[in-house]
């Protein structure tokens, strides 16, 4: 039920997204976590390029910081090297299940936290490795109810 935005139209989207970031600040949020910031790797309906995505994601990070908010990177794992300097943390859903956790290490190397949620794997299948990688990881139900088993 999600619909993609044409992030190439940044001049059109900028006032809308700045308004959303400003609203988060007004509501006393500490940070924002935009989702689905990897449209160039999906069938978005738009001919998005990696460069389009970088420009949009960096715009979002700068907008958050200009409002005194932290910002997390969720998705766009392929551009982490370029984006890690602009974002304050990374959030990954199922990096151990998909065997892509090593791609998150640039955040740890910059002294920034990485949060991992696993749905399919049991804690004994990923917690030891998550702790060794200095990730903050937990198992949750896909329904995102109150159930959780943290690794630390």
Residue-level pLDDT at 76: 94
Residue-level pLDDT at 2: 82
Per-residue pLDDT band for 129 (boundaries 50, 70, 90) equals: very high
pLDDT, tens digit, 9 for 90 and up, residues 50-65: 999 999 999 999 999 9
pTM of the predicted model as reported, rounded to 2 decimal places = 0.93
CA pair distance 121, 136, nearest whole angstrom: 15
Q: What percent of the chain has pLDDT over 70?
A: 100
CA pair distance 89, 107, nearest whole angstrom: 7
Nearest CA among 113, 115, 31, 25 for reference residue 70: 31
Residue-level pLDDT at 148: 97
Identify which has the larger pLDDT, 42 or 1: 42
Residue-level pLDDT at 1: 75
Residue-level pLDDT at 95: 98
Other beta carbons less than 10 A from residue 94's beta carbon: 17
Per-residue pLDDT band for 25 (boundaries 50, 70, 90) equals: very high
8 Å CB contact between 96 and 116: yes
- Helices 50-66 and 10-26: crossing angle in degrees, nearest 10, is 30
Residue-level pLDDT at 103: 97
Strand, helix or coil for residue 61? helix
Residue-level pLDDT at 151: 98
What average pLDDT does the segment 99-114 reach?
A: 97
What average pLDDT does the segment 133-148 reach?
A: 97
């Amino acid at each position: 039920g999600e619909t993609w935005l044409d992030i190439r139209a940044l001049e059109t989207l900028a006032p809308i997204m700045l308004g959303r970031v400003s609203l988060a600040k007004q509501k006393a949020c500490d940070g924002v976590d935009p989702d689905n910031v990897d449209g160039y790797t999906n069938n978005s309906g738009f001919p998005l390029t990696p460069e389009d995505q970088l420009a949009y994601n960096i715009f979002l990070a700068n907008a958050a910081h200009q409002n005194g908010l932290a910002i997390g990177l969720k998705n766009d794992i392929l551009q982490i090297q370029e984006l890690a300097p602009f974002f304050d943390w990374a959030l990954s859903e199922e990096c151990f299940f998909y065997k892509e956790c090593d791609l998150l290490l640039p955040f740890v190397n910059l002294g920034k936290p990485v949060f991992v949620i696993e749905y399919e794997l049991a804690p004994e299948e990923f917690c030891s490795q998550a702790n060794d990688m200095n990730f903050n990881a937990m198992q949750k139900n896909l329904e995102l109810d109150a159930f959780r088993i943290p690794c630390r």
